[in-house]
Amino acid sequence: MHLLAHCPAVDWLTPLWWAWRRQPLLHCINWCALHFPVQSACPSQCKCPAEPVRCPPGVSAVPDGCGCCKVCARQLNEDCGPQQPCDHHKGLECNFGADHRSNRGISKLEGRTCEYNSRIYQNGENFQPNCKHQCTCIDGAVGCVPLCPTEFPLVSASCPHPRLVKVPGQCCEKFICDKEPKKPYKGMHNSGVGRSLQKKCILQTTDWSQCSRSCGMGVSTRITNDNTQCKLVKETRLCNIRPCYQAYWHSWNVC
């Protein structure tokens, strides 16, 4: 856009019009400096902390507005700005409202809300339904990631029989190594109830569905009966095929 397009209209019959005619560029620069303040420029050389940034579960580490250092992305309804970018993996954008000159905004996302355990969550909102899972509402679908270990360690000579045990005062169970296998419970062994249930249950598990989003954070689902009740249930998980395009912030050019 032409530089003078931002200049205010003046009456050509007034002395102010003649002043604009004689030195239009100078007057426009002064007017722009008053109405369009210049934002701070990015540093010529990046200086980042020696320790890598550590973000809470479910929060992405993204480049800052200058593309220098990794920072924890701002989440839904949190303050944001050029140096505090929103979590673009979840489609969040910094909303500056009607004041386009402001460098402070609120992280927002348009989309459908989610209902989980009779509670409504906003699109892009993180929540913990329990101490073992971290969940995110993504356009009407809920995806969760486990906060506790779910995979058994590999059997080795030093740990021939790994198993999970409950730790008093802690939510997650902990792996320990037994030298000998745990003996089955005598009552269940004699009754044969557990063994009978396992024999009758035919394991059925579908493949994970395609990710609900082509870029950024999405949700994938599957159906399985791999549980103690041998009951078909729907499982969800978060997926991220590739990061979405993110534009970096740069300082405004001088008007």
Is the pLDDT confidence value at 59 over 80?
A: yes
Does residue 154 carry a pLDDT above 70? no
Contact 57, 144 (CB under 8 A): no
Q: What is the pLDDT of residue 246?
A: 56
Angle between helices 24-35 and 15-22 (to 10 degrees): 100
Report which of 215, 204, 202, 208 is spatially closest to residue 242, judged by C-alpha positions. 215
Q: What is the pLDDT of residue 23?
A: 53
Tokens linked to 120 = 């409504």
- Per-residue model confidence (pLDDT) at position 213: 79
Residues 6+ apart with CB under 8 A from 209: 220, 221, 222
Q: Hunting for tokens 């989980």 — which residue is that?
A: 116
Mean model confidence pLDDT for the chain: 73
Asked whether 163 and 181 are in contact (CB, 8 A), the reply is no
CA 24 – CA 46 distance, rounded (Å) = 39
Q: What is the mean pLDDT of residues 222-227?
A: 84
The answer, yes or no, to whether residue 73 has pLDDT greater than 90, is yes
> Is pLDDT of 225 > 90?
no
pLDDT, tens digit, 9 for 90 and up, residues 8-47? 444 444 444 444 455 554 445 444 444 444 445 688 888 8
**Hey, which of 53-62, 214-223, 246-255 has the most confident mean pLDDT?**
53-62
Query: Token digits for 227?
Result: 């549980």
Report DSSP state, residue 86. B
**Percentage of residues in the chain having pLDDT higher than 90:** 3
Q: Residue 201: is it exposed, middle or buried by C-beta count within 10 angstroms (0-12/13-18/19+)?
A: middle
Contact 239, 219 (CB under 8 A): yes
Can you tell me which residue has the tokens 């032409």?
A: 2
Nearest Cα residue to 137 out of 44, 42, 226, 212: 212
Provide the pLDDT for residue 183: 56
**pLDDT, position 191:** 43
Measured distance CA(219)–CA(234) in Å, rounded: 12
Q: Residue 176 belongs to what H/E stretch?
A: strand 174-178
Query: Percent of the chain having pLDDT more than 70?
Result: 67
Phi-psi region of 214 (alpha: psi -120 to 50; beta: other; left: phi over 0): alpha
Half-sphere exposure of 42 (CA within 13 A, CB side): 18
Residue 222 has pLDDT above 60, yes or no: yes
C-beta neighbour count of 84 within 10 angstroms? 20
> Per residue in 156-205, pLDDT tens?
777 777 777 888 888 888 878 776 655 554 444 444 444 444 557 788 88
pLDDT band at 1 (very low <50, low <70, confident <90, very high): very low
Q: Name the H helices within the chain.
A: 15-22, 24-35, 186-191, 193-200
Least confident of 101-105, 209-213, 250-254: 250-254
**Residue 87 reports pLDDT greater than 60:** yes
